[in-house]
Amino acid sequence: MTDDQYDFESIAVGAGEERPQADTKDVVTPIHLSATFGLDSAGYPEEGYTYTRHSNPTRDRLEDRLADLSNAARVFAASSGMATVSTVCLSLLSPGDRVVAADSLFGGTKQLFDEFLTGFGVEVSYVDATDPENVADALGPSAELVWMESPTNPLLKLCDIEAVGELTEEHGATLVVDNTFATPYAQRPLDLGADVSVLSTTKFVNGHTDSVGGAIAVGDADLAEQFGFVLRDVLGAPLSPFDSYLVARGLKTLPARMESHQRNATEVAAFLADHESVAAVNYPGLQSHPDHDLAARQMDNYGGVVTFELDGDGAETRAFVEELDVFELAMSLGGVESLVEHTASMSAASLSPAERETAGISDSLVRLSVGLESPDDLIPDLAAALDEV
């Protein structure tokens, strides 16, 4: 770990980091691909490296840097964002427990809750978490875990992490916040009262659309031990050394990228909000967002995802996303390149029409991941495709 003397931008590039390769003085942490490590004597050593599933020097550097940036005691880098969700659930839940979850959540997390956890005798109560009162009403003695996402995928709803953190503390429940859209640059859930923060590094943290991974940040040593056991020994799903190198590299430009994402997304959101073919725009940085004040208080950056409702039906919305050139039609988000998706037929395709309706995902919803291209190219691309609708 580095000391507190450095700013976020300096820690992100690795300022002050210990370099175990003192003999070669690598400026960049090398990729240690070795699956196993030689030992001086027979037995299981207390210290040092033994086997890459347990620990690896490249992954350790990434985890330490992410821990500094998240103000966490410990970070575990995992092989996907979903591996972090599974690790936390398998670590903390037993049959008879209840999860209180936001009703607007990433579809994969919801699928895990509805189709997997319930099979283990865990009940999930969904609440509109934009109002902490709803979380308070749903909490009770059997509520072990409270699962929030802020901002949510894809509707960019927020929850007041500090207020929910006070409630979970009163009730002895564990608060987990999915911080994928914000990243630790924009929001540090542990500072706001969450016990655990998870994220998909596949998105903004790596930022170059060339690695799938995730990270769990935790403040408490006992929880950390439990997560380490489940991630490495039960699921066997830590991040590979090569992906750890890629994420550590991407992390160096996180602050600069997030500033550019926000600048471009703000211009795109303002353009869409004024367009006659757009029925509604979701972006926490817009004054019209219902939780804009909370976003301004809780976040240091509004991020790069903008979603909107086209004033048209599903067929027209699909035609619109297919018409775009600079925005590439693809699932995922958070990379330097701008992507677009028709959520109902793409990332939410596994949900039934009724489930999509409950989740507020209409056939007219479009999700944009606004990248680092010039807004002078992004906005004309949107304008031309909207003209065709």
Ligand X SMILES: Cc1ncc(COP(=O)(O)O)c(C=O)c1O
Please give the residue ranges that form the binding site for ligand X (CB under 6 A): 80-82, 106, 108, 149, 153, 178, 180, 200, 202, 212, 214
CA 41/CA 87 separation, integer angstroms: 33
Q: How far is the CB of 169 from ligand X (least distance, A)?
A: 24
Which residue lies nearest ligand X, judged by its C-beta? 81
* Nearer of residues 125 and 369 to ligand X, judged by Cβ: 369
Q: How far is the CB of 181 from ligand X (least distance, A)?
A: 6
First-last CA distance in the chain: 53
Q: How far is the CB of 139 from ligand X (least distance, A)?
A: 23
CA 74/CA 63 separation, integer angstroms: 7
Q: How far is the CB of 154 from ligand X (least distance, A)?
A: 8
* Nearer of residues 11 and 101 to ligand X, judged by Cβ: 101
Residue 99 CB: number of other CB atoms within 10 A? 25
Q: How far is the CB of 335 from ligand X (least distance, A)?
A: 12
Cβ atoms 76, 223 nearer than 8 A: no
Q: How far is the CB of 187 from ligand X (least distance, A)?
A: 13
CA 202/CA 248 separation, integer angstroms: 12
* 8-state DSSP, 118: G
Cβ atoms 211, 248 nearer than 8 A: no
* Nearer of residues 203 and 318 to ligand X, judged by Cβ: 203
Burial per residue of 285-323, b for 16 or more beta-carbon CB atoms within 10 angstroms, e otherwise: bbeebebbebbeebbbbbbbbbbbbbbbeeeebbbbbeb
* Nearer of residues 80 and 187 to ligand X, judged by Cβ: 80
Tell the residue number behind the tokens 């403040």, with chain if given: 219
* Nearer of residues 303 and 312 to ligand X, judged by Cβ: 303
* Nearer of residues 13 and 112 to ligand X, judged by Cβ: 112
